[in-house]
Amino acid sequence: MSPHISKLLLIGVAIIVSYYFGEIARKLKLPSLTGFMIVGAIFGESVLNIFDEELMGSLSFMTEVALGFVAFLIGIELNLGSLKKLGFGIISIILAESFFAFIFVAVGLYALTGDISLALIFGAMAPASAPAGTVAVIQEYHAKGSLTKALYAVVGFDDGLAIIIYGVAFAFAKNILINEASGTGMNILITSLEPLKEIGLSLAIGTITGFLFCQLVRQLETMESILIIVFGSVLLITGLSVTLHISLILTNMVVGFVLVNTRKQFLVSKVSEELNIIMPILFILFFFLAGAHLQLNQLPHLGLIGLVYMFARSAGLIGGARFGAIVGGAESKIKKYLGLGILSQAGVAIGLSLIVKHELSQIGTSHAFKIGGAVIMTVTATSIFFEILGPILTKIALKKAGEIPTKSMVRNDK
């Protein structure tokens, strides 16, 4: 980026152009976030390179802020009364879709390559989802119903399970590679317990800050005061999560969860109304930056490993969600359509792939280098596919389930 061009100027242009592209996408019956991502891809390294690597690095905090608000919004939707109505089905769906995705990808890539370390690591990438895409579609179309509630719960909780699966599977794969290199292994138990510590700390801090947040908010009277405290609290909690290297998604989600389950619905509704004012602009920024991060030049390098990963992950998530819904006795539309709404994948998976590359590069063998390079290239390339197609399939699922209201119903709600 030229040092003479203001970042604020570029962000302002990006927001305005993204808005109009989002409107065009809506007229084409696509989620508006598709338009935001297209503008991001055009402005990013793939095309114009206006938002280059240096600028994107300086704006990374915006992605974290947007994810913090998305997670908080998910938490507000996780009312225990509503979850009880969905029953055991939600737990069985989360377990089944996560483990099916891991198993399908690991088995598929082992059958293709015969490389158990590569298969385990790619399998560990598969369960991680991108809740922002699903939540943005739900918000945009004012979706309501049991499938919508189930989607909130699944995309909210499955990242926690995904981190655990990643921690255990990567510990085993890394141990195999270290044995190859030196004949000595690492302590798998200690390594695989690390993600449990991260999740436990996220839940504990989220619970404590959640109760503190509730005390602050319940004493406020004006809507403006509520917006200020909500905004400041999410920034504080997100910053704390980043500083402590814990999950900002889980921590913020727990804060929202504490609010909705310990305070009266009137207060929760006021907080939700204030959030709805700022979420559209945060979604534009988040998906514009997500589009700018997409490296379209990686698509030609997708290869057979990428195709197997893509199809095995999709089959695992969709098949696992259906299996879990059947075992849990969920209603028909959740069995049919929930799997279509959870395919988005970006931030968490790309973050994990960067960790994989860093960790494997320290082993120092050509085999470890090869796997690290393959993981980051494949996950980056397939994220383009999942981030574009995922929200479109989420809209289709909600529409088929009858949970997207007509325009007249939306007007009446307002």
For each of the chain's 414 residues, which pLDDT tens digit applies? 545 578 889 999 999 999 999 899 888 877 787 888 889 889 988 788 888 888 888 887 888 888 888 888 878 877 777 767 767 778 899 889 999 999 999 999 999 888 888 899 899 888 887 777 888 889 888 899 889 988 988 887 777 777 778 777 877 888 788 877 766 555 556 655 666 777 788 889 999 999 999 888 888 878 888 888 989 999 999 999 889 877 787 888 889 889 888 888 888 888 888 888 888 888 888 888 877 877 777 666 667 888 999 999 999 999 999 999 999 888 889 999 999 888 887 666 766 776 677 677 777 788 888 888 788 778 777 877 887 888 889 999 999 999 988 753 444 444
- Strand, coil or helix: 184: coil
The runs of H, that is alpha helices, within 44-115 are 53-58, 60-76, 80-86, 88-113
d(CA 327, CA 97): 12
Angle among Cα 147, 380, 294 to the nearest 5 degrees reads 90
Q: How is residue 165 written in tokens?
A: 């699966």
d(CA 378, CA 114): 18
Q: Say if residues 36 and 210 touch (Cβ distance below 8 Å).
A: no
128 sits in the region (left: phi over 0; alpha: psi -120 to 50; else beta) called beta
Instruction: For 60-413, give the CATH class.
Output: mainly alpha
* CA-to-CA separations, 314 to 25, 294, 406, in angstroms, rounded: 24, 20, 30
E-strand spans in 208-365? Answer: none
pLDDT of 348 reads 67
- Alpha carbon 132 to its chain's center: 6
d(CA 320, CA 343): 12
